[in-house]
């Protein structure tokens, strides 16, 4: 197992030659992130009593063992006040936005807030800020890590029976079982919110919120599965062969048109929250926070 490095994003063109052209980010700060990554362990503690880092989980996040455990500890050890926002693993965008609003108002009654979001957590957060101007005014920054702007093709296949031309009988049987499991987990509504074109409409309404605040978005591609829930490599490859993805979303759907952009190689969708394969996820979120603080 080799140690992960933030360099080499452009190698996706060789590994995934059919990837559509990526939208040009408003401001590519990958080099700035790489410097923060290199110095994350040697920089003096932040000791920022006026700033609270709020980690926001994506769908099913709290069901994954040790999810955000290391990032929370690393941020606190580095001198940041940090906590994980209260959300529901299978909560819809509206439900999680309201849970988060009440939780943050109660636990962070004063001071500036840096929201560090993963995946759907970024959509939940932007929805919350759209209806909570008092918290929006206190927002020091937003990190949207692997937060999608278009739907998850795997969920579209499972729940909407799309992409049928790439499904064989065995795969369809697996997807029927997955649809049943999603229903039993009361997660169908939340999962449907991550399908196209529904998600595009939601994101279009929320993008102005991200544009008016200090926002950094992080996109990545992956070539090696690391977690059974978030590593749908074979299915994504069958739907759109040789197109780059992070194990759950296609790469071009992770590029945001506003704020600053970090582009990273070899990171599966779950690695940012649980690590694995030589990736220090606690160090990642600390480096990300230092881009703001």
Q: Which two structure tokens, joined as six digits, stand for 190?
A: 């939340």
Interval 203-214: pLDDT, tens = 999 999 999 999
Q: Which two structure tokens, joined as six digits, stand for 156?
A: 């579209």
Interval 145-186: pLDDT, tens = 999 999 999 999 999 999 878 878 888 898 999 999 999 999
What domain range is 79 assigned to? 9-150+199-290
Would you say residue 155 lies in a domain? no
Would you say residue 178 lies in a domain? no
In the numeric block, the tokens 């690393």 are attached to 74
Would you say residue 33 lies in a domain? yes
Would you say residue 116 lies in a domain? yes
Residue 94 sits at the vertex; the CA angle it makes with 163 and 76, to the nearest 5 degrees, is 100
Interval 192-206: pLDDT, tens = 999 999 999 999 999
**Residue 276: CATH number of its domain:** 3.40.50.1820
Would you say residue 194 lies in a domain? no
Q: What is the dihedral of CA 192, 196, 202, 207, to 10 degrees?
A: 140
- Nearest C-alpha neighbor of 4 from the set 268, 241, 187: 268
In the numeric block, the tokens 């977690």 are attached to 227
Looking at residue 227, what is its pLDDT?
82
Looking at residue 40, what is its pLDDT?
73
Looking at residue 228, what is its pLDDT?
74
Q: What is the DSSP letter of 62?
A: G
Which has the minimum average pLDDT: 16-25, 49-58, 168-177? 168-177
Cα distance between residue 279 and residue 3, in whole Å = 6
Q: Which two structure tokens, joined as six digits, stand for 136?
A: 């929006």
Which residues have a Cβ under 8 Å from the Cβ of 42 and sit 6 or more positions away? none
Cα distance between residue 219 and residue 263, in whole Å = 5
Would you say residue 261 lies in a domain? yes
Q: How many domains does the chain have?
A: 1
Would you say residue 191 lies in a domain? no
Would you say residue 98 lies in a domain? yes
Structure confidence at residue 42 as a pLDDT band (50, 70, 90): low
Partners of 60 in the β-ladder: none
Residue 26: pLDDT over 90: no
Decide if 274 contacts 65 (C-beta within 8 A). Answer: yes
């Amino acid at each position: 197992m080799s140690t992960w490095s933030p360099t080499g994003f452009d190698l996706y063109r060789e590994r995934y030659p059919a990837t559509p052209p990526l939208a040009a980010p408003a401001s590519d700060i990958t080099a700035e992130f790489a410097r923060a990554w290199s110095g994350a362990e040697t920089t003096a503690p932040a000791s920022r009593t006026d700033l609270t880092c709020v980690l926001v989980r994506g769908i099913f996040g709290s069901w994954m063992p040790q999810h955000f455990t290391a990032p929370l500890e690393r941020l606190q050890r580095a001198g940041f006040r940090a906590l994980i926002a209260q959300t529901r693993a299978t909560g819809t965008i509206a439900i999680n936005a309201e849970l988060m609003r009440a939780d943050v108002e109660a636990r962070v009654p004063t001071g500036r807030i840096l929201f560090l979001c993963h995946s759907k957590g970024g959509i939940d957060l932007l929805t919350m800020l759209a209806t909570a101007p008092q918290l929006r005014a206190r927002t020091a920054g937003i990190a949207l890590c692997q937060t999608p702007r278009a739907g998850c093709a795997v969920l579209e296949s499972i729940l909407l029976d799309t992409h049928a031309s790439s499904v064989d009988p065995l795969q369809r049987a697996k997807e029927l079982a997955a649809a049943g499991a999603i229903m039993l987990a009361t997660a169908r509504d939340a999962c449907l919110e991550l399908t196209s074109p529904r998600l595009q409409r939601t994101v279009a309404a929320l993008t102005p919120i991200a544009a008016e605040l200090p926002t950094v978005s992080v996109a990545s591609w992956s070539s090696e599965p690391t977690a059974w829930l978030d590593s749908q490599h074979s299915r994504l490859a069958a739907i759109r062969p040789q197109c780059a993805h992070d194990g759950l979303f296609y790469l071009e759907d992770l590029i945001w048109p506003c704020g600053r952009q970090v582009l990273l190689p070899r990171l599966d969708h779950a690695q940012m929250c649980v690590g694995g394969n030589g990736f220090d996820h606690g160090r990642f979120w600390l480096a990300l926070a230092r881009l703001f603080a």
